[in-house]
Amino acid sequence: MKSYSLLIGLILIAFSSCKKLDQSPEDAATPGVVFGTTQGLELYSNSFYDVLPTANDIHRSDAMSDYLARSQAPDFLIEGAFGPRQSSDWTWTKLRNLNYFLENNVNLAIPEATRRHYNGLARFFRAWFYFDKVKRFGDVPWINKTFTVDDPELFNKRDSRTLVVDSILADLRYACNNISTTSDNSRTLITQNIAWGFLSRVALFEGTFRRYHKTYNMEASATALLTEAAEAARKVMDTNAFSLSTAGGDDNAYRQLFTSSAPVASEVMLSNVMNSTLNVLNDANWYWTSATYGARLSFTRTFINTYLNIDGTPFTNKNGYGTMTFMQETKNRDKRLQQTIRMGKYQRINGGASEPAPPVFSYTYTGYQPIKWTLDDIYYDGGSRNINSICIMRYAEILLNYAEARAELSQLSADDWSRTVGALRRRAGITANTDNVPTAIDSYMQQNFFPDVTAAPLMEIRRERGIELALEGFRFYDIVRWREGRLMEKTWNGFYVPAVNTAMDLNEDGINDVYFYTSMPATTQPGVTYINVSPQLANGSPNPQHLSEGNRGELIWLDNIKRTWAKSADPVEEEKRYLYPIPEADRLMNDQLSQNPGW
């Protein structure tokens, strides 16, 4: 996405009155000038894009999720470590910019359709801004005007979730019907399709939230929201403006979406585009390869087990899957797996030459090291150097929104399935079971993820959503809307180690890569990483990295730190972490702000 900071500054300067001896310079830019021309409206509207997440925000956005182990447990999940004093993001600065525009874009000299287009953009971004707030805090003040410092409404109470969501949806409907831009080859601008796509995202979130969070007593309104989610997604689908990219074949089509410098325009709908000339870059390689920078995120084995076999059958239906080594379990799987983690013949470039690149245990704790956002040249590993575009919205999400909404409504047809989940699986090289709606529930998924889901299509859509959208920032709030917070307590497990004190060749190139030991060998092999998995460290404290069965088993990371979603089955305690607390500092400034339950 473009960098708009300088542009916003210029606009604010333009709005400032420059007076000396009660006279204004003749050439001063005033709000009347800005709002008096189409060019002025366009210039101002560029500042709206500051509401969107940055590239780094997106590629890091799954850092707190059920399927990733990390260097430290999040404070949010450690009892007593997080509360109103630690909470943040109760900020409203960007909203004022949008409301100011909407109040002033009233110049009748500009054609009504033009004014409605730019108002549609402003209302789209206001909806985006508020959706972030509702997901995080629930009830928030709905503010649709600019405030002065003495405005009595400045310290209002929070408005109800229902009122705010209704207002978000009204803004999005207006945006869908009034934004006139229908296409944008750069994939950096808001178009009608982006508005419809975002409407499907918001309506699906809120529809499922109300369905599964029964303590809110809003289940009756879920059906209408899910219907709107399906209809909005279908609007995008029926334009035929986008399709799933298959460039590069099933071995590379998926990963190219996340490593290409230019957005893959057939599928990517909205993107943060990097520009090395302007020094607009991201730090994905640094974050996802460094032993010291970032959270050292790695997938858990429980999640990796959800990737299907290449023939479309569940991997966990295989006899002995639980004791398969990394080398065995990564063969003949959904080809998105090899495009998401280091495995098999994956290589990196060092000084122009390709080299084998198995999982590196100076980074990973589980062995399942992500590559989805990283470039293969090690040049990019240090600092903010990445030139790959980072997608904000892509067509695959729209297909999944449609499929899930239809499944929740019990309206999913064979054609729906084939066009959505089936299409995604075919793109991933899966050779069977992509055309017919599934009828058998997967017991592994039910036991390990969603025990209350009894409908096979819905279970498979949730599986697909986790795999297809991994590391794109959806997982935590999917867990929130499905009311599956207990998943955040699951063990951080890694691949199976059949025996300690034995070197392992993870990519089967004839060169050993890692050695898990309880007793450090007297002699070591060059290039091999040695990992202590003794139950206890030399000082007697528990070893945060050990094996589940002592001398063999799954790698286990940091189970000595308890992660807690809910201390008890008390309804308030169960619901507590589905919302963040209102920051204490903001409640001290406004004593009308209530606190979220349990905090």
CA distances to 90, 218, 244, 256, 424 from 250, in Å: 43, 43, 11, 11, 11
And the tokens for 432? Answer: 């069977």
- The SS3 assignment for 14 reads helix
CA distance 133 to 141: 10
CA distances to 172, 237, 285, 351, 439 from 193, in Å: 12, 9, 31, 42, 33
Residue 159: DSSP 8-state: B
| Least confident range of 14-23, 167-176, 294-303, 513-522 | 14-23
And the tokens for 239? Answer: 């334009």
pLDDT per position as a tens digit, 334-393? 999 999 999 999 999 999 999 999 999 999 999 999 999 999 999 999 999 999 999 999
Buried b vs exposed e over 301-310: b needs ≥16 C-beta within 10 Å?
A: bbbbbbbbbb
And the tokens for 208? Answer: 């499922």
pLDDT at 396: 99
pLDDT at 356: 98
CA distance 136 to 126: 16
Residue 310 in this model has a pLDDT that exceeds 80: yes
pLDDT at 6: 37
pLDDT per position as a tens digit, 417-433? 999 999 999 999 999 98
Average pLDDT over residues 259-286: 98
**Segment holding 398, helix H or strand E:** helix 395-408
Question: Which residues lie closer than 8 Å to 136 by C-beta, 6 or more apart?
Answer: 89, 579, 580
| Short-list 19, 48, 136, CA closest to 89 | 136
| Sole residue written with tokens 């960007």 | 94
Residue 243 in this model has a pLDDT that exceeds 90: yes
CA distance 521 to 505: 17
Residue 319 in this model has a pLDDT that exceeds 60: yes
When the pLDDT of each residue in the chain is averaged and rounded to a whole number, the result is: 94
Residue 160: DSSP 8-state: P
Question: Are β-strands 553-557 and 492-497 bridged in parallel, bridged antiparallel, or unpaired?
Answer: antiparallel
CA distance 81 to 477: 21
Average pLDDT over residues 295-313: 98
pLDDT at 31: 79
pLDDT at 236: 98
| Short-list 507, 464, 496, 435, CA closest to 307 | 464
| Sole residue written with tokens 């009892």 | 79
pLDDT tier for residue 23 given thresholds of 50, 70 and 90: very low
Residue 485: DSSP 8-state: G
pLDDT at 17: 33
pLDDT at 16: 36
Determine the residue type at 419. Answer: R
| Least confident range of 145-154, 384-393, 550-559 | 145-154
Residue 324: DSSP 8-state: -
**Segment holding 547, helix H or strand E:** strand 545-547
Average pLDDT over residues 53-62: 98
CA distance 250 to 64: 29
pLDDT at 549: 98
pLDDT tier for residue 14 given thresholds of 50, 70 and 90: very low
pLDDT per position as a tens digit, 519-548? 999 999 999 999 999 999 999 999 999 999
pLDDT tier for residue 256 given thresholds of 50, 70 and 90: very high
Residue 448 in this model has a pLDDT that exceeds 70: yes
**Residue pair 526/517 in contact by the 8 Å Cβ criterion:** no
**Residue pair 312/434 in contact by the 8 Å Cβ criterion:** yes
- Side-chain-side CA neighbours of 322 within 13 Å: the count stands at 5
**Residue pair 320/314 in contact by the 8 Å Cβ criterion:** no
pLDDT at 1: 46
Strand order in the sheet with 514-517: 502-504, 514-517, 529-532
CA distances to 288, 339, 349, 448, 576 from 369, in Å: 8, 11, 17, 21, 32
And the tokens for 253? Answer: 């089509």
| Least confident range of 11-20, 128-137, 220-229, 346-355 | 11-20
**Residue pair 176/193 in contact by the 8 Å Cβ criterion:** no
CA distance 7 to 123: 20
